[in-house]
Every structure is written in C-alpha cells, then in structure tokens.
Structure 1
Amino acid sequence: MDAVSNRDRDTSLRVRIPGLDGLRAISLLLVLFAHWAPLASLILEWGRSGLLIFFVISGFLITRILIDLARRRREFGGWQILRGFYGRRFFRIQPIYYLALVFVIGIGLNDTVREDVIYHIFFVQNLANALLRNDIGSYGPAAPWWSLAVEEQFYIFWAPIVVFFRPKVWVLALLGALAIAIGWRGFAWYVDIGQASVLVTLGNLDSLAAGSAVAIITSMGRISPAAKHCFTAILVVGIAGLCLLSMTDISVGQAEFRSSFVGKVLADVPVYMIASALIFLLAIGKAATAARVLENRILVFIGKRSYGAYVYHQVVNYTFYFVVTPRLLEPIFGIKLGFRGTMELCVFTAVTLLLAALSYRYIEQPIFRLRDRIYPPNR
C-alpha cells in the first residue's frame, strides 16, 4: 500500500502544471520591460519583481524534482541521485550560457567580462560583482547572469539536504533561509554596502525558499482546506502589500523609498508571497481562471523559451549598439541608428524571442535529448 502511494505521488510530481509556463513568461517580460522601458520603473521595480518570480518558480520546480528523486534513494543511492541531478542541471543551464559567454568575449562586447571570465565560468560572478566591482552594470550584456549564479549556488547546498535528510530538516532549512535572507538585507542596508544586498545569494534565499516550501506542501498528499484558505490569504495580503509599497514609492519618491529600510529589506516579500500563493493554487487546481489566462498559447510559447531569452536579451541590444550600428549601419548609411522607449522594447523583445526560439529548437532540444540518454530523468 505504501509503495503504491509513493508511486502515485511521484507520478503527480512529474505532471505538468497548467499556468506555470505562462507565469514564467510574465516574469521574463517584466525583466525585459524593466531593461527596455525604464520609465516603468517609476511605478514598480519590474525587473526585480520578474527575477523574484523566476526564483520562486525555480525553487518550486527543482524541489519537486528533488523530492521525487529522494524517494528513490534506497533504489539508486543518494550520491548516484545527486550525480544525475547535477548532470541534468548542467545540460539544462550551461551549454547556451557558455555559448553566450564565448560570444560576448569573442566579439569584445565587454572587457570586464573578459577580465573576470573565470568567475563567470564557475558561476560566482555575483560575488565577484559585489566584492570586486560593486556595480551591477559592470558586466554589461552579462549583467543579468548574476541571478543564474544565485540559483546554482543555492542548489549546490539545497539538493543534498532534500536527498539525504528528512522533511523536518527541509522545513528547518527553509525557515533558516527565510531568516538569513531578510537578516542579510537588513544588515546590508544598515552598513550600506549597496547592491551586494541582492547580488549575494544570501539576499535571495527567501524567494527560493518560498517556492521550495510550496513544492514540499503540495507533494505531501492530500491538501487540507486550511492550507487552501491560508494560501488564498497570502495571495490577498501579498497583492495589498505590493499595492501599498507601489503607492509609497510614488508618494515619497523613488530614491528615498528604495534606499529606505522597507524598500531595501522588505519590498521583496509581497512579490514572492503572490508568486508562491499563485503557484500553490495552480498546483492544486484551484486557480482555474488564472490557469486559463496563463495557458494562452503565446505565453506558453514564451515561457518554454524563457531561459534562452533571459540569457540572450542583453547580448542582443549590446550587439546592436556596439557592433551592428558602428560597424555596419553607420558606414553604409552614414547615420547612427538607435531605439528608445517603446521602439526599443518592441524591436529588442522581438529579436530576443526569435533568437530564443531558434536556440530552443536547434541547440537546446538536441542537448536535452543527449542529456536524457546520459542521465535518464528518473534517476
């Protein structure tokens, strides 16, 4: 009876959840909106919000995979499971990331990336940026990749905890992560260490933990009505909190609010409350309307290709401005072509999504097939 129960739960963990691809697409679009429509940031930090949604989704999906694998530990062995997990993770993340890194260095898009390439190779560029450069824009087209380093560093420690320890330890670890993240951002605000508050992995643990917690709760069998009511309340409180923060941002001024304790330390909380609660309701089938909206064909298409789009998006506009325009357009037409505002958003988003679609079809999918042969998904 237990074996059947476990098998059913394992199968449920591998079932696609309607709406998640659409939510991933929205998180990507928020990032693109922030980078290419900067006036929008006067209302809300769209880019940071998009990243937090990415973190919550990642924490949720990866923890579901780890829980599924942990239930097979006696069959395959813990270290064998971890080897397969990290191997599959490598094939998912590294190939197009390294391809983009080689492109950035090869055509000379950013000298700082070339100088610090060793940090980018080993996914510690967020630490190098915080400790050596102290400027999130130092890496130019590679600047957004600090968030990939955050995720990779998190899973190095989180995967063994899930595979080798009991659920009580998982819960304690996530509670600790929540406290550490808020504590770190509070410390960073107090001593005024600037962007290190978010560049360092410690400052993002709470959003990753929120998604991981949802994965644990939804994997434990029957969901009680109290849990459903609790997450509905979390969603409502999160929306109210986000609206309040946005109104405060507008009323007191962007610079003052975003340098305040609330802006630096607590502003992330409503965003990952909303994202985690929505994911919970989608996972248990209690957000039918939201699922229908998020299952829009365009959003699903974008969501499935969102990783490539995220990796490539700043490479696209840097290549245009620093290679295509000065080396091709100016010599041919004698003009300096540039895009601003809505035009920049539309043109670069279209190019980025086209590039991501081609990458997904001709690079990523063949790599996934190779990955599945080397590291079967159930081990």
Structure 2
Amino acid sequence: MNKEITKRIPSLDGLRAISIFFVIYDHAFRPSLINVGYLGVNVFFIISSYLIIQILLRDVEKNRFSVKMFYFKRIFRIFPAYYTYLIVLFLVLNFLNIFKWPQFWRAPLFLVNYQPRSDWAFPQWFVGHTWSLAVEEQFYILIALLFVFVNKKILKKERLLFVFIGIILAVPIIRISYLYFDFIPDILKGSNHRSFETVADALAVGGILAIKGKDIQHHKWFLFFKNKIGLLFLIVLLIMVLNSPEVVEMFGLKPRYLYNLVGLTTINICVGIIIMILVHFPKESITSGLLNNKVMITVGLWSYSIYLWQQIWLYSWDFPLIFKFIGILVCSVVSYYFVEVKFLVWRDAFLKRNEKL
C-alpha cells in the first residue's frame, strides 16, 4: 500500500467523511437555510492546505523541495480519478443526448470556478461541483511557486505567516466588492464564493495552521475550546444562516455583507480550531469516537471519489434516492480502488525506482 494512504491522520479522515456527508445532503435535499455543502467544501480546503503546506515546509527543511516533484505527485493524486469521471460523464451525457459543450469545456481545464452570470442559463450541474477542484489545482500551482522563494531563502518561512494573514484580510474585501460594485466584470461577479481570490482565505487559514499549529495548541484560548467542538460547530451554523435567502428576504443584503466580510473568516477560524483539536488531541476530543470509527475513516479515504461521482447520481433522475446513494457508493468504491489506489501505487513505485538510480 502506498505511503500517501497509510500515513494519514484518522481524525481528519473522519472529518472528511462528515464534510462529504454535508455535500451529499446539500445536493440531495437542497436546504435553503444553511448551505452545508459549501461548509463541507471549505473544510476540505482548510485540511488540504494544512497538509500540503506541512509537506512543503518539511521538504524545504530537509533540502528536498522540488517543484517538478510536487507537481508530479499532485497530478498522479488528482488527475486519474478526475479525468476518469469526466470521460465517463462525456460518454453518458452523449448517450442520453443531453451533453452541452458550454457546460462542459471549463471542467477539463480546471476553470469551472470562473463562470460568468451570462452562462448560468446553461445547465452546469454535472460539472458544477468541479469548481472546488479547480481552486485546489490553482492553489497547488501558486503555493509551489511561492515555496520556490522560501527554498531559495528569498522569502523566510516566518514571513509566510504574514503572507497568509494578508490574504485573510484582503479576501473579504474582494468578496464584498464583487457583491457591491457594478463595474466588476461579469465573470468575476458570477464567480463570487467560487473563484480563487474569493475563497483563498480558507486556504490561508490552513497555511497558518501548518506554520503555527504546534504553538497554537498551548494558547489558553485554544485550550478553552479543546472540549467545545460542539460550540464551535454551532457558531459556524449560526453564521451560515446570515447568507440564507430567508434572512436576506427579511433583513435585506446587510446580513449577507456581514457574512462575506467577517462571517466566512470566523467560520474558517472555527474550522481551523476544530482541525487543530483533532490533530493535537485526537483521543481527548468528545468527537474522537465518531471520527476515529473505522467506517468514518474509510468514508474519508473514499471522499475524493465520492465527491466526484455524487454529482451525476444526484441529478434530477426519476428514480428513488436510495438507488442514487447505492450508485454513488458503487462508483466511488470502484474509482478509489481501481483508479486512485492503482495510480498512487504506480506513482510511489516509480519514485522508489528513481531513488535507487
């Protein structure tokens, strides 16, 4: 079994499982009051950034950082399952005679997170969820290039903290400007909450956790929340209500502006604290029994494939929801074991052979 699969943090796999449940629930039932699907994606962003930046920092410290190697590993991790889904989707939609090129073309290029409002008339359900994968790929490109400066000592590791803090301060202003100003281009206004520059603060929170995580766990405020994951989660849900259509209908756009300016930042910080609790106090947390359960860990391992395949099954097909869930499970398990794992094993075998040369 490959190293990437075996060397994992069980609690974070459990958190991934909860996040993918949020996404499926949101897409299956489409609740309006709280967009738990978006929350689930935000959790994925923070976890991904936290783990990736930890790896890059470790590579720099051990003098083994390589942009080419980083991209090589990420390509083998993301591309096989992703393009397998897109190929199957292309064939299925063409067979059903519902394929639409205006819906599809951004997905293979990882550009679905930039969608002008004028294109919203085209149904984009089948690839709409790949906006988050586009953000991830854009993050991989930019973070590796940033670490070139860290590796060359042009940018010190400690200064990275200020870069991430600057992103957290700037992104809410960008989100507000996209909502408020009419001169913003259609492609940007239509991509708010999906474009890289409007979600990068979640990734920046992950970066801060990677740099300062060991110090954070000793702070009094952190210890206060150590056994209060439920409270943090409640705060997150209450803040998310600010963005709901019901609240906007009652109070106008002011709650939505508040949500974009400080609400999302607070949500990201709360999620970051939860992640740190799970990483540094995995057995002391009251949720440890749930998150470290074998079923939850396994679902967390499958979460990437589940995220890909849930979209096609949760379309408005005219058959019972239980069969849709079974379809998601079958496709995801096949994708994980016969695509994800196979390519990761090949990748690690290739790297091992080259280390011996």
Decide which of 265, 269, 289 is 2:265's aligned counterpart: 269
For 1:365, the equivalent position in structure 2 comes to: 341
Q: Is the 8 A contact 2:240 2:263 kept in 1?
A: no
Distance verdict in 2 for CA 1:170–1:119, change over 3 Å? same
Decide which of 125, 130, 139 is 2:116's aligned counterpart: 130
Distance 1:249 1:216 in 2: 31
TM-score w.r.t. structure 1 length?
0.77
Decide which of 235, 240, 257 is 1:241's aligned counterpart: 235
Distance verdict in 2 for CA 1:231–1:347, change over 3 Å? same
For 2:326, the equivalent position in structure 1 comes to: 350
Alpha-carbon shift at residue 159 of structure 1 (Å): 2.1
Which residue identity lines up with residue 211 of structure 2 in the other structure? I
Unaligned runs of 5+ residues in structure 2 are 1-5, 151-155
Q: Is the 8 A contact 2:171 2:197 kept in 1?
A: yes
Distance verdict in 2 for CA 1:191–1:241, change over 3 Å? farther
Alpha-carbon shift at residue 191 of structure 1 (Å): 2.1
Distance 2:242 2:16 in 1: 27
Q: Is the 8 A contact 1:130 1:199 kept in 2?
A: no
TM-score w.r.t. structure 2 length?
0.82
Decide which of 127, 131, 138 is 1:146's aligned counterpart: 131
Decide which of 220, 225, 228 is 2:222's aligned counterpart: 228
Task: Find the residue that maps to 1:138 and give its secondary structure.
Answer: coil
Query: Which structure: greater helix fraction?
Result: 1
Which residue identity lines up with residue 125 of structure 1 in the other structure? V
Q: Is the 8 A contact 1:21 1:300 kept in 2?
A: yes
Alignment RMSD: 3.3
Q: Is the 8 A contact 1:126 1:199 kept in 2?
A: yes
Distance verdict in 2 for CA 1:267–1:315, change over 3 Å? same
Does 1:20 pair with 2:12?
Answer: yes
Distance verdict in 2 for CA 1:169–1:116, change over 3 Å? farther
Q: Is the 8 A contact 2:232 2:274 kept in 1?
A: no
For 1:4, the equivalent position in structure 2 comes to: none
Decide which of 190, 210, 215 is 1:215's aligned counterpart: 210
* Paired residues, number: 335
Does 1:289 pair with 2:286?
Answer: yes
Alpha-carbon shift at residue 307 of structure 1 (Å): 0.2
Q: Is the 8 A contact 1:70 1:163 kept in 2?
A: no
Q: Percent identity?
A: 24
Unaligned runs of 5+ residues in structure 1 are 1-13, 322-336
Show CA shifts across 1:271-297 (max 9, x none): 322221111112212643322220112
For 1:253, the equivalent position in structure 2 comes to: 247
Distance verdict in 2 for CA 1:349–1:267, change over 3 Å? farther
Which residue identity lines up with residue 130 of structure 1 in the other structure? P
Show CA shifts across 1:294-352 (max 9, x none): 0112211111000001011112234x83xxxxxxxxxxxxxxx434xxxx2x4323321
